[in-house]
Amino acid sequence: MMTAVAPRKEPVIFSQVVEALFKHAIKRERFDESTRKRLKTIGIDLDQPFLVAYSIPTWFAAINVCAEVLHPDLPSEQARYRLGRQLVDGYGQTTMGRAVFAMLRMLGWERSLTRISRGLQSGTNYLAARTRFLDENTLEMIFEVIPEFHTALGPQPGIDPYFMNGTMDGMMALVGAPFAGGELQPLEPGAQHVVYVLRRKG
Alpha-carbon gap, residue 179 to 186, rounded angstroms: 20
CATH number, domain at 182?
3.30.70
Residue 82 within a domain: yes
- Same domain flag for 126 and 185: yes
Residue 84 within a domain: yes
Residue 2 within a domain: no
pLDDT at position 14 is 95
Alpha-carbon gap, residue 126 to 145, rounded angstroms: 6
Total domains, the chain = 2
Q: What is the pTM of this model?
A: 0.92
Check residues 29 and 55 and name the one with the higher pLDDT: 55
- State the burial class of residue 63 (Cβ atoms within 10 Å of its Cβ: 0-12, 13-18, 19+): buried
3-state secondary structure of 191: coil
Residue 97 within a domain: no
The model's pLDDT over 102-135, given as tens digits with 9 standing for 90+, comes to 888 888 888 888 888 888 888 999 999 999 999 9
The model's pLDDT over 2-28, given as tens digits with 9 standing for 90+, comes to 444 455 689 999 999 999 999 989 876
Residue 156 within a domain: yes
Alpha-carbon gap, residue 85 to 168, rounded angstroms: 8
The model's pLDDT over 31-81, given as tens digits with 9 standing for 90+, comes to 899 999 999 999 999 999 999 999 999 999 999 999 999 999 999 999 999
Residue 7 within a domain: no
pLDDT at 94 over 90: no
- Same domain flag for 68 and 137: no
The model's pLDDT over 135-176, given as tens digits with 9 standing for 90+, comes to 999 999 999 999 999 999 999 999 999 999 999 999 999 889
Per the structure, the complete domain to which residue 81 belongs is given by 12-91
Residue 96 within a domain: no
